[in-house]
Amino acid sequence: MDSFERLDADVRANLSKEFVEAAESRLHWEYSSSFDDAERRGERLVYGRPGPLAQGLLERHMRTRASFGMTALTAAAFDMGADVEHLLLTNGQRKPIVRTGCFCFVVETIHDLNHQPAFAAYKRGLARANTAIRQLELDLGDRPFHVADWSGCHLGVLLHGCRGDTFTRTGTGLSMFRIGFPNSAYDSWVWIKDVLSGQLSDDLGWTKIPAGKPPKQYDKVAVRLRPSSERRETK
């Protein structure tokens, strides 16, 4: 069995429908909530009339899209009881990495459906974990180094985005959500399916959520992990 066949078999056997649905629901909410918050700040906004206020609100929404994906990923992981690590990058940013079964997931924003993997050193390292690299030495911020065993894991990427053409609910709402698995060089997709169109659920034989079912509502909270030094054991 070659690497693609093994990936395809693992996705079909082990990709969690509940995890994907939880991530999709949270992404919808994050995008919609951002619009609601911006709309309240732009109370003098007149729809259909482009201007500096609408443009400024739209630009802010587009700049903060990355946080929507990170919150959705960690929230879905907590819903499923999956492992979450926050990787501290050299620029001070923290990036969540979720491990569930034989997959580890990160997130990435996209502008269109032709998006190719956006290179980052830590993503390439994770992509190689099931081939050349058996263990990764990760700086997780709250302790000097953490050796994480990602052997046998497939790196999956939750790709999300919106139209971003106008400051309207349609223009700023979630309109793209795909799941892709990159090659070890992190420069092309080996396996990728669209979630919102039903391509993923059709291909994997999942039962779809009934049409018209209202989206799950969430409290307006940020999901964060406390440093291990601040955690205490609970029974």
Distances (CA, A) of 78 to 15, 72, 98, 108, 182: 16, 10, 10, 19, 24
Nearest to 30 by CA among 98, 107, 86: 107
Least confident segment among 30-44, 125-139, 153-167, 168-182: 125-139
210, part of any domain:
no
Query: Within a 10 A sphere around the Cβ of 87, how many other Cβ atoms?
Result: 20
Residue 224 has pLDDT above 80, yes or no: no
- If one compares 39 and 221, the residue with the highest pLDDT of the two is 39
Query: Within a 10 A sphere around the Cβ of 61, how many other Cβ atoms?
Result: 20
Residue 92 in tokens: 């001070």
Q: Cβ(162)–Cβ(65) under 8 Å?
A: yes
**Rounded-to-integer distance, Cα 106 and Cα 69, Å:** 9
pTM: 0.80
- If one compares 38 and 228, the residue with the highest pLDDT of the two is 38
Q: For residue range 10-27, list pLDDT tens digits in order.
A: 999 999 999 999 999 999
Residue 214 has pLDDT above 60, yes or no: no
- If one compares 153 and 75, the residue with the highest pLDDT of the two is 75
215, part of any domain:
no
Residue 226: the pLDDT is 45
214, part of any domain:
no
38, part of any domain:
yes
222, part of any domain:
no
Residue 157 has pLDDT above 80, yes or no: yes
Domain count, the chain: 1
- If one compares 116 and 152, the residue with the highest pLDDT of the two is 116
Residue 150: the pLDDT is 61
- Model confidence band, residue 74 (pLDDT cutoffs 50, 70, 90): very high
Percent of the chain with pLDDT over 70: 73
- Model confidence band, residue 228 (pLDDT cutoffs 50, 70, 90): very low
227, part of any domain:
no
233, part of any domain:
no
What is the span of the domain harbouring residue 55?
3-204
Nearest to 61 by CA among 158, 152, 174, 153: 174
- Model confidence band, residue 43 (pLDDT cutoffs 50, 70, 90): low
- Model confidence band, residue 210 (pLDDT cutoffs 50, 70, 90): low
125, part of any domain:
yes
- Model confidence band, residue 50 (pLDDT cutoffs 50, 70, 90): low
Nearest to 18 by CA among 105, 76, 103: 76
Q: For residue range 95-143, list pLDDT tens digits in order.
A: 899 988 889 899 999 999 999 999 888 788 777 765 433 334 444 445 4
